[in-house]
Structure 1
Amino acid sequence: MNPATGRTFRTANIRVLRIRNGLIAETCDHHDHLAFAAADGRADQLLAALD
């Protein structure tokens, strides 16, 4: 649940792990930032920042 709005939402996230010699060498997380901003009521701000 989003504490700012009280609404629940779902979004896709991806975590990429790079393994080297059996150990995690790197991690990278990818999120749907527009979905997070929309759930928080700030999609317009995000889109304006990208303009």
Structure 2
Amino acid sequence: MKIFVLNWQFKVLFYVDEQRTLRITVEDLFLNELIVTNQAVVQLL
């Protein structure tokens, strides 16, 4: 499952991997760079 959140400056991607870990990637669209890449947020039960 992937969820995108987009506003005028940031693109945020949330997804759950094979080990049921919620991960996040954040891209700054203004600077055109990744701020957070594939960062684990929480382990789901």
- TM tier relative to shorter chain: 0.3 to 0.5
Bigger Rg, structure 1 or 2: 1
Give TM-score, length-normalised by structure 1.
0.30
Give TM-score, length-normalised by structure 2.
0.32
